[in-house]
Chains A and B, each alone.
Chain A
Amino acid sequence: MSTYTAPMKDMQFVLHELAGLDAIARLPGYGDVSTELVDAVLEGAATFSGEVWGPLNKVGDQQGLKRHDDGRVTTPKGFVEAYAKFVESGWNGLRFDPAFGGQGLPKLVDTAVMEMWNASNMAFSMAPLLTQGAIEAVFLRGSDSQKQRYLHKMVSGQWTGTMNLTEPQAGSDLGLIRSKATPEGDHYRIQGQKIFISFGEHDLTDNIVHLVLARTPTAPEGVKGISLFLVPKFLVNDDGSLGERNDVRCVSIEHKMGIHASPTAVLAFGDGPGAIGYLIGEENRGLEYMFIMMNEARFGVGVQGLGVAERAYQQALAHAKDRVQGKDATAPKGPSVPIIRHPDVRRMLMSMKSRVEAMRALAYVVAAMFDQAHRASDDAERNTAHAGVDLLIPILKGWCTETGVEVASTGIQIHGGMGFIEETGAAQHLRDARITTIYEGTTGIQANDLIGRKVLRDGGRSMQALLSQIDAVCEQLEAGDDAQLHAIGARLREGSKSLADSVRWILATGMQDLNAVLAGAVPFLHLCGVVCGGWQMGRAALAAQRKLAAGDGDAAFYRAKVATARFFADQDLSRARGLAEATMHAGASTMALAEEQF
């Protein structure tokens, strides 16, 4: 069975050297955060993820879930106990307001911990991920009494939360939502059917807090007529005890390609008198509230891509060291060797390792921007961080999930035929990773968001700001006399130019020929991902080189960091020009055929 060990050393390197943990710890309200505390928190989470969640990953995949005739859903063996331990250990509340029982730690620290949950058991990690989204919604837009009634138990994890958006006819287009909410006294009666509801029904907790999008009778058509409701599985009495069972039932669960231990429910609201729901915020502003959380949710899925990739890498690495096959190409008469000696296997391992490290660096840097956007004392700093987050979210979500799938696929390749056999466990990572490019907005939707809202809308200003940060790193890489850093700098410079060319083209073309620009949207997103990954790996190489020059710490680790950054530059960043060409020329052919010609 594959095990998971949190990559503490790299996590700490990224937290301190690239994401600026010290600066985040100095933000208002994070007074208690110190390096020692963060180390202790990460150690605790590493142990828990490795020993409790990790071993259940395969069990969950193989056993899956069971829906009973009465609508109950039971989770795989060991999940109920593990979740109880998770709640008891207080991990769910890590980043939430201490007023509701949380620990108030920065999102940056939360991100490293979330990576561990995702890597050790992505299906399981859906429970806290969804709960945290629901907490955020209630916290930001709920009334005081709603907060008092629901948040304490959601923050502790004693109750989980869900997000009910999708309906059979309303997927990526939520304007088509039909679920109804009829006012009745201080509440509403909800009727309708919701699909794809992660952890919509399960046996881990005694209550589930559903957040549901629905239309009131007087609501306008389309996206401007959707309201958000809180619909508990069991109604909650004034004293906090559980009351009557609400009129919401799980009518089926989906059979999926991956994340088998994460129940994806079809929920029927109001088969009887209608489920009792409580309005969150104001009527007709539901979608707007959902969008407040959209960045967080998309970020969370990007981190899933990173987590699964790390897990796939660990398993492939163990196999490559263990599997003896073939001779060393330079010593054909010698003994058979572990396959890690073969250059092509080494190339695959390096591609996995370098991409994982690039994704981690970018994810943690964006997490630090979230913290700055929320907490920085200076208005200008907060706004800059906000703009950075808005620009980088579609890139992070799209690129980390697409790359996660590729890394998991490479992991199978390293296993050879054994990788294709389910018992090996390498295939699970690919099957689990596959959903990440789809939910919370497909890669195509991320790419359209990137081009439409993040590049065209502001005339490329945030992109310019990003490019100048990248160019500043190029200058640092080119400044010294280190040949490795020069080589990385040259690739990054080329990447930055390719990106700048594409942005210019998008700005020039977008107004006359929107289809041409959107046809190249996904190659453009990949281009942004590779260049941002290269930017962070360039910073990593600089930081590692500084440490080496100072003779500070683990020289072997820092040398490996520089070599890994070099690999990323030569193998991934070198594709930037090709991606720029694909972006700028997609319009010439993509829409050329008439529909009948397909």
Chain B
Amino acid sequence: MKILVAVKRVVDYNVKVRVKADGTGVDIANVKMSMNPFDEIAVEEAVRLKEKGVASEIVAVSCGVAQCQETLRTAMAIGADRGILVETGDELQPLAVAKLLKALVEQEKPALVILGKQAIDDDCNQTGQMLAALLGRPQGTFASKVEVEDGRVRVTREVDGGLETLSLATPAVVTTDLRLNEPRYVTLPNIMKAKKKPLAVLKPADLGVDVAPRLETLSVREPSGRKAGVKVADVAALVDKLKNEAKVI
């Protein structure tokens, strides 16, 4: 079976981001960019399924600027077979990405689409769900275990009350949680091989998708700093403060 994995290029998780002076967004000029960690888990899962003989081909997809090719090369160094970049310099919101992915799913016809549950830049946690809805196919989000058997996908999900297990008919959409797997270290020979793997570049228009933003960002601000704590005299004073100042009890 074929697996399609979506990977996003985001600010590296080690970078301390700053809000732009004019409040229009986060300053990402000259900061280190990497693959979204949840997407790395998605690629790893697909590669493991291929190594088990379940998957036959892994296609990595990224949407965004030309440098997303590097992210796709990383996916191919982990083990994806080829890459597709939908190249655009425009702002991409989750709905636009979901529409682009839908168009690619219709072309590629994968049995399984694996995505990170969310990206660490905007933390939206929407693309996978939107994609499943647009495709009209089942979804298993926040997966901590994925098994494929008899044309169905068993997904164990981390939910508030514990673990939930779903059995999905394919084609299906799965989004990965942190504990699904631990991505491998890329090997030097695979880094070398990755640059020889095919990478196709398309434009949103080639897929007939309008990526114009539907949401408008009004302003972006730093969270206010933490205030220093105070010492209270006794329990009564603490209860009083919780009741009247913090208003939490």
Contacts and interface: CB of A to CB of B under 8 A. Distances in A.
A44 B188 contact: yes
Contact of B77 (A34, A44, A51, A94): A44
A103 B32 contact: no
B103 to A, nearest CB: 27
A91 B189 CA distance: 8
Nearest to B188: A90
Interface in B21-75: 29-30, 32, 69-70, 73-74
A37 B191 contact: yes
B187, B189, B192: most-surrounded residue (chain A CB, <10 A)? B192
A37, A40, A51: most-surrounded residue (chain B CB, <10 A)? A40
B185 A85 contact: yes
Nearest to A42: B191
Nearest to A557: B30
Interface residues of chain A: helix, strand, loop or mixed (majority): helix
Interface string B121-133: 0000000000000
Contact of B188 (A52, A103, A557): A103
Nearest to B190: A90
Interface range on chain A (Cβ under 8 Å from partner): 20 to 34
Contacts of A472: none
A423 to B, nearest CB: 25
A8 B32 contact: yes
Nearest to A45: B188
A552 to B, nearest CB: 11
Interface string B165-209: 000000000000000000001111111101100000000000000
A5 interface: yes
A47 interface: yes
B10 to A, nearest CB: 15
B219 interface: no
A321 B29 CA distance: 24
Given A34-B195, A553-B30, A557-B30, A40 B189 contact: no
Interface residues of chain B: helix, strand, loop or mixed (majority): helix
A88 interface: yes
A40 B77 CA distance: 9
B73 A90 contact: no
B14, B69, B191, B195: most-surrounded residue (chain A CB, <10 A)? B191
A165 to B, nearest CB: 30
Given A5-B14, A8-B32, A554-B30, A48 B74 contact: no
A63 B16 CA distance: 35
Contacts of B194: 40
A36 interface: yes
Contact of B192 (A47, A51, A103, A554): A103
Contacts of A48: 185
Contacts of B190: 90
A97 to B, nearest CB: 14
B185 A36 contact: no
Nearest to A34: B195
Given A5-B14, A34-B195, A41 B188 contact: yes
A36 B70 contact: yes
B191 A91 contact: no
Contacts of A34: 195
B77 A90 contact: no
A32 interface: yes
Contacts of A5: 14
Nearest to B189: A90
A34 B29 CA distance: 23
A277 interface: no
Contact of B185 (A52, A94, A556): A52
Contacts of A93: 188
A88 B184 CA distance: 11
Contacts of A41: 188, 191
B188 A89 contact: yes
A153 to B, nearest CB: 16
Interface string A93-125: 110000000010000000000000000000000
A44 B35 CA distance: 13
A89 B187 contact: yes
Interface in A53-97: 85, 88-91, 93-94
Nearest to A51: B185
B191 A40 contact: yes
Given A44-B186, A91-B188, A37 B30 contact: no
A121 B73 CA distance: 28
A39 interface: yes
Contacts of B69: 36
Given A8-B32, A39-B70, A557-B30, A88 B187 contact: yes
A36 B66 CA distance: 12
Interface string B1-32: 00000000000001000000000000001101
Nearest to A50: B14
A34 B186 CA distance: 18
A289 B189 CA distance: 30
A47 B185 contact: yes
A5 B190 CA distance: 23
Interface in B69-124: 69-70, 73-74, 77
Contacts of A52: 185
B164 to A, nearest CB: 32
B188 A36 contact: no
B195 A36 contact: yes
B30 A44 contact: no
A85, A90, A556: most-surrounded residue (chain B CB, <10 A)? A90
23 contacts: A8-B32, A32-B192, A34-B195, A36-B70, A37-B192, A37-B195, A40-B73, A40-B74, A41-B191, A43-B74, A44-B188, A47-B186, A89-B185, A89-B186, A89-B187, A89-B188, A90-B187, A90-B189, A94-B188, A103-B188, A103-B189, A553-B30, A554-B29
Given A5-B14, A40-B74, A94-B188, 6 more contacts: A40-B194, A44-B187, A52-B185, A89-B186, A554-B29, A557-B30
* In the complex, the 9 A-B pairs of residues with the closest C-beta atoms, listed nearest first: A554-B30, A90-B188, A89-B187, A90-B189, A90-B187, A44-B186, A40-B191, A37-B195, A91-B188
Interface of B: 14, 29-30, 32, 69-70, 73-74, 77, 185-192, 194-195
Interface of A: 5, 8, 32, 34, 36-37, 39-41, 43-44, 47-48, 51-52, 85, 88-91, 93-94, 103, 553-554, 556-557
